[in-house]
Amino acid sequence: MKLEGKVALITGAGSGLGREASQLFASEGAKIAVVDIDPERAKGTVELVEQQGGSAIAVTADVRVEQQVVDAVAATVAAFGKLDIAWANAGIVSRGGVPSVAGGEQVEFQDLTDADWQDVIGVNLSGVFYTAKAAVPALRANGGGVILATSSAASFVAYHSIAAYSATKAGVNGMVRGLSLDLGKYGIRVNAIAPTHGMSPNFLAPAGAPVVGQSYEEVAGPWDPSVSPIPLKLNRPPSLKDNARAALFLVSDESAYISGVTLPTTDGGTLSRVAMMFPEDGNNPPPMVTGEE
């Protein structure tokens, strides 16, 4: 097993990718600290891990509050004796989200409040900073280890109506590069995954909504790759596990010399696109936009 004898702390593990990865990591031999702001969701993930024969504890913490993250790391070490992997996975979308996906009301950038800005920074950027900072002493005491963060495809390309979210995820990429340089001397690797597809609808759902356990694409109905915008055509939709498996690679010894990398995951060629797509046969190209009428 790829994580035999390892101890992993995962924030935002009460639903979505964090819940899926908790189960996957446990199946590979890791003991899991399931950290989430919602205690019931955290307990639900622990139950799923234990049902498959794994070992896990539930820890309630708000990653925006440094002391709560410090306490989560301490609880992990107290329960399992050490820490090998710290995954800063918790994240939220900026207010307004992606209206076409969430069915919510669009919020114009200029209408975002300072509270909106501080909230998305607090979870998506400060939460990564606090998790990494709290983990370093325990990882050093263990002779090294891995810090992983969840970034986003939105850190590389623009998505409509989530500029604040995109900014925080680009910040995560910069932090990963900087920390890999600073912490390598302690045997600590630092990487991130940047999912494009195969993520949970819970990300855009209100707090307390039922945990879906599937990706957007899986819950959308029968899968038809011919109408999917993903360039790679497969006979199944992208899933949470596709992203979790990439994370597993980055926290396992199989990636022992990878550090400072943000890896786009479950992308299927999406990020290879240019802004203007042309017909495959080269005929009847789309009109050029010149700015003149």
- The SS3 of residue 263 is strand
Give the C-alpha separation, 283 to 238, whole Å: 32
Q: Is the pTM of this model over 0.85?
A: yes
Average pLDDT (56-81) is 98
Specify the residue for token string 């039922």: 210
pLDDT value at 102 more than 70: no
What domains are there in the chain, each with its CATH number?
A: 5-279 (3.40.50.720)
pLDDT value at 82 more than 70: yes
195 exposed, middle or buried (CB, 10 Å; 0-12, 13-18, 19+)? buried
| pLDDT, position 171 | 98
| pLDDT, position 107 | 86
Strands 85-88 and 188-195: unpaired
- The SS3 of residue 208 is coil
| pLDDT, position 98 | 64
Average pLDDT (146-156) is 97
DSSP string, 14-45: TSHHHHHHHHHHHHTT-EEEEEESSHHHHHHH
Active site amino acids: 165
Give the C-alpha separation, 203 to 53, whole Å: 28
- The SS3 of residue 171 is helix
Give the C-alpha separation, 264 to 206, whole Å: 26
- Residues in the chain, total: 293
253 vs 102, higher pLDDT: 253
Among 11-15, 40-44, 213-217, which is the least confidently predicted range? Answer: 213-217
208 vs 9, higher pLDDT: 9
Copy the structure tokens of residue 34: 């399931």
Strands 188-195 and 262-265: parallel
Per-residue pLDDT tens for 169-196? 999 999 999 999 999 999 999 999 999 9
Residue percentage of the chain with pLDDT more than 70: 91
Spatial contact of 202 and 183, defined as CB atoms under 8 Å apart? no
Give the C-alpha separation, 253 to 231, whole Å: 31
Average pLDDT, the chain: 91
Spatial contact of 130 and 199, defined as CB atoms under 8 Å apart? no
How far from the centroid of its chain's Cα atoms is residue 39's Cα?
19
